[in-house]
């Protein structure tokens, strides 16, 4: 029926405006349908889920009809509608073939929305995707560079292993093209190909290494990332790149680090932090376990570590990556100390993102240089008391790793003191950690008992059963401390009897050793006698 | 014992050098999805679940907390701009601070493109927001660090679409259609 009707009037004509107005007033089921904008408005205006479903159902019906009629006029609009409906969470598989038809059309606008539809409505597991391979191949060879770009982007976002294999030669070829926009997309598309089919890594390593001479930043960041991916995929590629790219990388980093103000790439006073970071990352991959490489990059790492401004996030992002790299390669001890000091400074930064990141990194750094991390113990302890719960948790884990024979007593004292004032939702974690620490260092039984009694008094309700069972076992095996225990627990009970575990342990002790309590038997030097007749 | 195991695990962690963003999510303060792009395989069902979980996690976080949430062994970096939360999911070992910059890069480019972008722009022109994203990330990796270049490329492609529309609307075309 629609084929017999006249072509739609042009956008700005009076007929069209009138038609649209008629549409707004009454959704005529035989008309060409609503504009995208109007559908979105209708959906937003829905007051209930049922209302929204009704709008969506109506639109889907119109779109289905248009598809089965092979309607050319509103294909573009219908695809946009389908994508919107899909984003709301409704099923849209009836529209998948439309993507293919749009991609196969000759015009740029159709391909643009077709490829977008493809990457949104489908995922790599759908078999329908295979049907696009031929269109992709044609578009990868198109004379219009933007169409090539669309194909590379789609392939890079969604291709399956099979498609990757099929189209790898086209993508390889495009790495050599002159247009930087195409080159950078080809490089990133290659990353996906190599992730899907690691065997192909060796095909790309030559081009990747030579592309490091490029000047265009977009190409550089993509190619550097490609090199990193190649190293992960293939031992041969790693060795090849170690031999052929280290000097080039040092030069790239040095140039961008020393570059004067470049407005196009400037972020917070630094030229292209993204390029800095990617190069640092590749250096880490190349320098890991390789003394030669590590030596080559030593100086530039020191330069970046000392020169980079640390007052904005961009600079800190670079420093963070730099520290990761220093920790990951065979760095000199001087460089390592530099890295840990950066982390120490991070810990005192007002920005809690930076503190959080520093704590994470310090945990990793424990494996490399425990002593250096120990030096920051005081600041780390401060972070246990931070306002941000993510930071408190991280700091507590790190403190736990830092505990050793020398520092266990002062550290525990700090933690127990904090237990008194900490938030309720943190008390459980803190209690568990303290109990764990104390138990590990329980050779000094008197100290162990004192800590446990304090914890039971403050947060006994969070003390796990197996923990206070172990406490009782220790007391029963230590006759010289039984008198002390029962007296301490009695005093604690008098001061505060709200914690259930404290009451349990205390009552058990009084039951077992009551006479020691009453008669002050086997008192220790540190004790004062219990006077009064409250017993 | 624990220290030894931790030691081995931590050495292994250093070997990672990926940077891939697993997915991008834009949600409003009411939890409405404004944009999603998935660079790792998630089925439809999984996507809905992920969105629900993350909305619950992120929308309830206080304003003074850090911009990172740990979720299912991944990290989600998020930042709020007016009524929208921009979220990007990365692996646990990736550089969160850099991802904050990538989010900001994306937002600034959207801002220039739409001219002081607001949530309504992203609702009614969502497909254009996707076109912009596709010039910034491919396969979850950063593609272009120059905002000017991204703007230029989008403008060139928009012109191609405009030109095609004009050609289709030209009188000769209408006559040709009517007399087919």
With a cut of 0.85, is the ipTM above it?
yes
Does residue B151 contact residue B113 with C-beta atoms inside 8 Å?
Answer: yes
Cα A472 from Cα A142, distance rounded (Å):
80
Confidence label for A364 from pLDDT (cuts 50, 70 and 90):
confident
Does residue A133 contact residue A125 with C-beta atoms inside 8 Å?
Answer: no
A293-324 residues labelled b (16+ CB within 10 A) or e (exposed) = bbebbbebbbebbeebeeeebbbbbbbbbbbb
Q: Is the pLDDT of residue B179 over 90?
A: no
Residue B25 bridge partners (DSSP): B36, B87
Dihedral sign, Cα of residue A155, residue A157, residue A159, residue A165: positive
pLDDT for position A15: 54
| Cα angle: B171, vertex B177, B180; to 5 degrees | 140
- The pTM of this model reads 0.85
Which residues in chain B are closer than 8 Å to A195, comparing Cβ atoms?
Answer: 139
Question: Which two tokens mark A251?
Answer: 């030069």
Segment holding A270, helix H or strand E:
strand A270-271
Reported as a single tens digit per residue, the pLDDT across A397-426 is 899 999 998 899 999 999 999 988 888 878
pLDDT for position B131: 98
Question: Which two tokens mark B132?
Answer: 């912009």
CA-CA-CA-CA dihedral for A478, A481, A485, A491, to nearest 10: 180
The mean pLDDT of A369-393, rounded to a whole number, is: 87
Tell me the angle at which helices A445-459 and A424-440 cross, rounded to the nearest 10 degrees.
170
The mean pLDDT of A76-93, rounded to a whole number, is: 93
Across the interface, whether the CB atoms of A44 and B18 are under 8 A apart is answered no
Closest CA to B145 of A529, A301, A495, A273: A273
pLDDT for position A29: 43
The domain spans of chain B are 19-179
pLDDT for position A335: 93
A136 interface with B at CB cutoff 8 Å: no
- The CA distance from A463 to the nearest CA of chain B, in Å, is 21
Reported as a single tens digit per residue, the pLDDT across A314-331 is 999 999 999 999 999 999
* Mean pLDDT estimate for chain B: 88
**What is the domain class of B19-179 according to CATH?**
alpha beta
Cα B154 from Cα B40, distance rounded (Å):
25
Work out the number of other CB atoms within 10 angstroms of the CB of residue B150.
23
Question: Which two tokens mark A340?
Answer: 């840990």
Tell me the angle at which helices A445-459 and A465-476 cross, rounded to the nearest 10 degrees.
140
CA A249 to chain centroid: 26
Work out the number of other CB atoms within 10 angstroms of the CB of residue A165.
15
Across the interface, whether the CB atoms of B131 and A124 are under 8 A apart is answered no
Q: How many CA atoms lie within 13 A of B149 on its CB side?
A: 19
List, as one string, the DSSP characters of B79-131.
EEETTEEEEEEEETTS-HHHHHHHHHHHHHHHHHHHTS--HHHHHHTHHHHHH
Across the interface, whether the CB atoms of A109 and B165 are under 8 A apart is answered yes
Across the interface, whether the CB atoms of B10 and A217 are under 8 A apart is answered no
Backbone angles phi, psi at B80, to 5 degrees: -95, 130
Cα B173 from Cα B156, distance rounded (Å):
24
Across the interface, whether the CB atoms of A328 and B14 are under 8 A apart is answered yes
Q: Is the pLDDT of residue A11 over 80?
A: no
Please tell me which residue of chain B has the smallest CA distance to A77.
B127
Which residues in chain B are closer than 8 Å to A185, comparing Cβ atoms?
Answer: 138, 143
Eight-state DSSP code of residue A350: S
Which residue reads 């030559």 in tokens? Answer: A206
Question: Which two tokens mark B123?
Answer: 């609702």
Q: Is the pLDDT of residue A171 over 60?
A: yes
Residues with Cβ within 8 Å of residue A301, at least 6 apart in sequence: A280, A283, A322, A325, A326, A331, A335
Which residues in chain A are closer than 8 Å to B96, comparing Cβ atoms?
Answer: 353, 357
Reported as a single tens digit per residue, the pLDDT across A212-222 is 999 999 999 99
pLDDT for position B118: 93
Backbone angles phi, psi at B35, to 5 degrees: -165, 135
Cα B88 from Cα B79, distance rounded (Å):
9
pLDDT for position A30: 42
Confidence label for B15 from pLDDT (cuts 50, 70 and 90):
very low
Highest mean pLDDT among A2-6, A522-526, B130-134: B130-134
Tell me the residue ranges of DSSP E strands in A16-60: none
Question: Which two tokens mark A283?
Answer: 């250096």
CA-CA-CA-CA dihedral for A67, A72, A74, A75, to nearest 10: 60
């Amino acid at each position: 029926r629609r084929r017999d009707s006249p072509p739609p009037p042009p956008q700005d004509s009076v007929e069209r405006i009138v038609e649209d107005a008629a549409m707004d007033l009454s959704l005529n089921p035989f008309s060409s349908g609503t504009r995208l904008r109007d559908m979105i408005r209708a959906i937003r205006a829905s007051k209930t889920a049922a209302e929204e479903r009704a709008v969506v159902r109506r639109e889907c019906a119109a779109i289905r009809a248009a598809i089965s009629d092979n309607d050319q006029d509103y294909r573009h609009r219908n695809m946009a509608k389908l994508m919107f409906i899909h984003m709301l969470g409704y099923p849209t598989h009836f529209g998948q073939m439309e993507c293919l038809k749009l991609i196969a059309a000759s015009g740029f606008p159709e391909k643009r929305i077709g490829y977008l539809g493809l990457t949104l409505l489908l995922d790599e597991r759908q078999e329908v995707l295979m049907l696009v391979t031929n269109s992709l191949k044609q578009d990868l060879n198109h004379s219009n560079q933007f169409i090539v770009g669309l194909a590379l982007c789609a392939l890079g976002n969604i291709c399956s292993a099979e498609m990757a294999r099929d189209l790898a030669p086209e993508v390889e070829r495009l790495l050599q093209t002159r247009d930087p926009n195409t080159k950078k997309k080809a490089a990133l598309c290659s990353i996906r190909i190599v992730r899907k089919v690691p065997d192909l890594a060796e095909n790309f390593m030559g081009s990747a290494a030579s592309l490091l001479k490029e000047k265009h930043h977009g190409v550089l960041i993509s190619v550097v990332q490609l090199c990193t991916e190649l190293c992960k995929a293939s031992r041969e590629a790693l060795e090849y790149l170690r031999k052929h790219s280290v000097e080039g990388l040092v030069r790239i980093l040095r140039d961008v680090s020393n570059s004067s103000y470049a407005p196009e790439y400037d972020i917070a006073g630094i030229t292209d932090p993204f390029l800095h970071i990617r190069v640092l990352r590749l250096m880490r991959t190349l320098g890991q376990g390789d003394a030669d490489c590590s030596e080559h990059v030593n100086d530039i790492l020191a330069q970046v570590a000392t020169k980079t401004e640390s007052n904005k996030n961009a600079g800190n992002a670079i420093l963070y990556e730099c520290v990761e790299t220093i920790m990951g390669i065979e760095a000199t001890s001087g460089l390592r100390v530099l890295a840990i000091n950066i982390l120490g400074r991070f810990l005192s930064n007002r920005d809690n993102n930076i503190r959080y990141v520093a704590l994470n990194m310090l945990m990793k750094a424990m494996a490399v240089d425990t002593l250096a991390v120990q030096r920051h113990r005081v600041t780390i302890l401060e972070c246990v008391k931070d306002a941000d719960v993510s930071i408190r948790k991280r700091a507590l884990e790190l403190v736990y790793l830092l505990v050793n024979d020398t520092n266990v007593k002062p550290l525990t004292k700090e933690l127990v003191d904090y237990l008194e004032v900490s938030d309720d939702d943190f008390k459980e974690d803190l209690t568990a950690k303290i109990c764990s620490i104390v138990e590990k260092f329980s050779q000094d039984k008197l100290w162990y008992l004192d800590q446990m009694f304090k914890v039971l008094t403050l947060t006994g309700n969070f003390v796990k059963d197996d923990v206070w069972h172990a406490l009782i076992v220790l007391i029963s095996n230590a006759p010289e401390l039984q008198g002390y225990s029962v007296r301490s627990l009695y005093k604690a009970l008098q001061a505060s009897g709200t914690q259930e575990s404290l009451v349990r342990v205390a009552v058990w002790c009084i039951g077992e050793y009551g006479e020691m309590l009453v008669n002050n038997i086997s008192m220790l030097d540190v004790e004062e006698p219990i006077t009064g007749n409250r017993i | 014992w624990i220290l030894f195991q931790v030691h081995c695990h931590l050495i292994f962690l250093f070997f990672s050098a990926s940077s891939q963003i697993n997915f991008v999510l834009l949600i409003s303060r009411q939890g409405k999805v404004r944009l999603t792009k998935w660079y790792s395989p998630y089925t439809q069902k999984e996507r809905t679940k992920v969105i629900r979980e993350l909305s619950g996690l992120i929308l309830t976080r206080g304003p003074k907390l850090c911009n990172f949430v740990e979720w299912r062994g991944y990290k989600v970096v998020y930042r709020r701009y007016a009524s929208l939360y921009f979220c990007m999911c990365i692996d646990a070992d990736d550089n969160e601070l850099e991802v904050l910059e990538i989010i900001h890069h994306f937002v600034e480019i959207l801002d220039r493109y739409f001219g002081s972008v607001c949530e309504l722009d992203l609702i009614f022109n969502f497909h254009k927001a996707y076109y912009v994203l596709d010039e910034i990330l491919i396969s979850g990796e950063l593609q272009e660090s120059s905002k000017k270049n991204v703007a230029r490329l989008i403008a060139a492609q928009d012109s191609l679409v405009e030109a095609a529309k004009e050609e289709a609307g030209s009188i000769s075309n209408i006559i040709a259609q009517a007399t087919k």
